[in-house]
Amino acid sequence: MDSIKGLIDLAASPPVAFTLSIVVFFTLFRSRWPWTRGGGLTMLGVGVAGLVFGLSDDELRRRVAEPDNLPIVGLVFVVGFFVWLAMSKAWANDEATERGDPTLEESERDDRVLTWPDLVFVELIAAILLTVALVVWSLLVPAPLEGPANPALAPNPSKAPWYFVGLQELLVYFDPWLAGVVIPGLIVFGLLAIPYMDRNPRGNGYYTFRERRPEILLFLFGFLVLWCQLIVVGTFVRGPNWSFYGPFESWEPARVAGTATISLSEALWVRLLGVGLPGSWLLRELPGLLVVGLWFVGLPVLALRSPWLREQRERLGRVRFHTVVFLVAVMGLLPLKMYARWLFHLQDIVHLPELLLSL
Amino acid sequence: MSWIDRLRRRVTRSQPWRAIFRVGVPTDDRKRALAVLGNVVLHLHPIKVKRSGIRLSYTWCMGGTAFFLFLVLTVTGILLMFYYRPTVEHAYADIVDLREVAAFGVLRELHRWGAHAMVIAVWLHMFRVFMTGSYKPPREFNWNVGVVLLVLTLLLSFTGYLLPWDQLAIWAVTVGSNMASATPFLGHEGPGSELLSLGGTPLIHVGSDARFALIGGRTIAGGTLNRFYVLHCLAIPFIAAWLIAVHFWRVRKDGGISGPM
């Protein structure tokens, strides 16, 4: 039993868990089986078995049962279920299209029903069921309330409300101006821009995967791997000093914060060339600025060698295409900086305390 | 004819009854259409909807769930306001009293769990809309309204998080609002903020930056509590309610929840 727990603790460490989640993500979305009834039930079984096994451990049960952590356990199962539902409907429709049949939604396109009574009564029943569920939940679980506010006594760890914990987790890898301001801003901007960037006329009003594969994979990678997963990581495996603690590891004694990190300029000028940091900040940070420049400019240039992407540029036009590429590059910066940190202890690609700017 | 039928007849044919319910019991399609048309709430719906629009496995009922939870939160929130005073002196004690003393001791539970559920419902609603391509023309603008509503939902939840004035509240909001001090140019720890100065005097400092504007002071204190209370109970719900109305109206004007016009 303890060896299994040790193995899970190992797999839950951010580098392993993140790599695993990427592998699992692409494995699942490449195959048909997970989105069949058998696949769905198997995944549900694994999830429930994991939960039951986890709850058998005192340490983890305490963490899961913290009232404000409950929504996240719920989130995992609810999001999992709806991803499965959407994908299984998409596959069913795609197979119908392949056979030459209309999709479920298209077959009833001209079938309209009266709002009263068909819709209004569905709404009424849904409202009643929701009320019952919410009242039962409220009677069973008291809302969390800790001691009165004390500005002099900071709890360790201090955590943001659960829906912002993913952004707080990003603080490990990014400076606050990026993790707390620019990245959330770009997420909102990216979401707003979706209908103007996606010019694919297909998949309007019915579930499909085959006709919109890149869009769906990009959206779900962001939603599942980068947003939901980081919330789970920040909630369940981050303890005092925001250090990593396996799900079955005790928070006592508390670990010291992080490992020593290094900036790119120091790694290059001091460690590699042994010449010491140049006096001018521009020269000092030039390599880092070049790396960032290459990522945002060189990557699109390199990408355009692919005929498929050239075709996309023709289809979308330059403004749309380069907005998409920029947003994808920002999204890609997340795993890039995570792996740089894990593999080389590299924290800042550009380190400019002169301008309070680090990246 | 039994006396019950006679009584019902009398009531439903009386002038006050017919003044309120113009159509009567909708027994045919014409009256069913009129029932929706004549009601200010129901007329947010069209007369007829696509069959997929009422199919639970298609819509997941998530937009409706989010809206319903918004209504639950409005009602429980107003009831909570009868008890709760947003001052450092009273806030925490009022929250304790809500559980220990007030009738219907689950009001705060309904409000807090409902809020968590609403955040998840809004995410899933967005996910469903994405997966059915319902943001595609002619619904681009309504997707934008939805994204703003998503942000407002998170802000509502965030501002409400502070109100119990317990350790959980104050420190979660500390973590969240500290981010504002890193805003480029406008936060005192943000890149470029030192560039904004007037004759050597910095314009952006801890007493004037984005974080200061958000929490109404240099630290989280009584001023923050009052500010978040007003944002939570008045300002954000007002904007959200208005945008929800726009959101529903556009669903109708854009030809239903999804599919080409």
This model of the complex carries an ipTM of: 0.95
Q: Which 3 state secondary structure label does DSSP give B201?
A: strand
Cβ–Cβ below 8 Å for B45 and A119: yes
Tell which residue, A5, A16, A21, has the closest CA to residue A53.
A5
- Per residue in A282-295, pLDDT (tens digit) is 889 999 999 999 99
Read off the pLDDT band of B52 (50, 70, 90): confident
Please report which helix (H) or strand (E) contains residue A112, including its range. strand A112-114
Tokens of B149: 């509503």
Euclidean distance between CA atoms A124 and B61, whole angstroms: 12
Find the CB nearest A127 among B56, B68, B116. B68
- For chain B, percent of residues with pLDDT exceeding 70: 100
Give chain B's domains with CATH numbers: 61-253 (1.20.810.10)
Q: Which residues contact B170 (CB under 8 A, 6 or more apart)?
A: A149, A150, A151, B162, B220
Give the model's pLDDT for residue A171: 92
Cβ–Cβ below 8 Å for A149 and B165: yes
- Per residue in B140-192, pLDDT (tens digit) is 999 999 999 999 999 999 999 999 999 999 999 999 999 999 999 999 988 88
Average per-residue pLDDT for chain B: 92
Give the model's pLDDT for residue A168: 95
**pLDDT tens digits in sequence order for chain A, 359 residues long:** 788 899 999 999 899 999 999 999 999 999 999 999 999 999 999 999 999 999 999 888 988 888 788 889 999 999 999 999 999 999 999 999 999 999 999 888 888 899 888 999 999 999 999 999 999 999 999 999 999 999 999 998 899 999 999 999 999 999 999 999 999 999 999 999 999 999 999 999 999 999 999 999 999 999 999 999 999 999 999 999 898 999 998 888 878 766 788 888 888 888 888 888 888 888 899 999 999 999 999 888 888 899 999 999 999 999 999 999 999 999 999 999 999 999 999 888 998 888 888 88
Read off the pLDDT band of B127 (50, 70, 90): very high
Q: A76, A88, A115: best mutation site toward chain B, by most B Cβ within 10 Å? A: A115
Check if A75 contacts B (Cβ < 8 Å): yes
- Min CA distance, A2 vs chain B (Å)? 33
Give percent helix, percent strand, percent coil of chain A, each to the nearest 5: 70, 5, 25
DSSP for A267-302, please give it.
IIIIIIS-S---SSHHHHHHHHHHHHHIIIIIHHHH
Tell which residue, A151, A340, A178, A325, has the closest CA to residue A261.
A340
Euclidean distance between CA atoms A181 and A7, whole angstroms: 36
Is the pLDDT score of B118 beyond 80? yes
Tokens of A171: 């603080």
Cβ–Cβ below 8 Å for A90 and B259: no
Cβ–Cβ below 8 Å for A130 and B60: no
Tokens of A170: 């990003």
Tokens of A167: 């952004």
Q: Which residues of B touch A120 (CB under 8 A)?
A: 36, 42, 45
Cβ–Cβ below 8 Å for B147 and A188: yes
Tokens of A30: 């490449």
- Per residue in B193-223, pLDDT (tens digit) is 888 888 888 888 888 899 999 999 999 999 9
- Min CA distance, B11 vs chain A (Å)? 23
Give the model's pLDDT for residue A81: 97
Give the model's pLDDT for residue A271: 86
Give the model's pLDDT for residue A261: 85
CA dihedral over A12, A16, A21, A24, signed as positive or negative: negative
Q: Which residues of B touch A93 (CB under 8 A)?
A: none
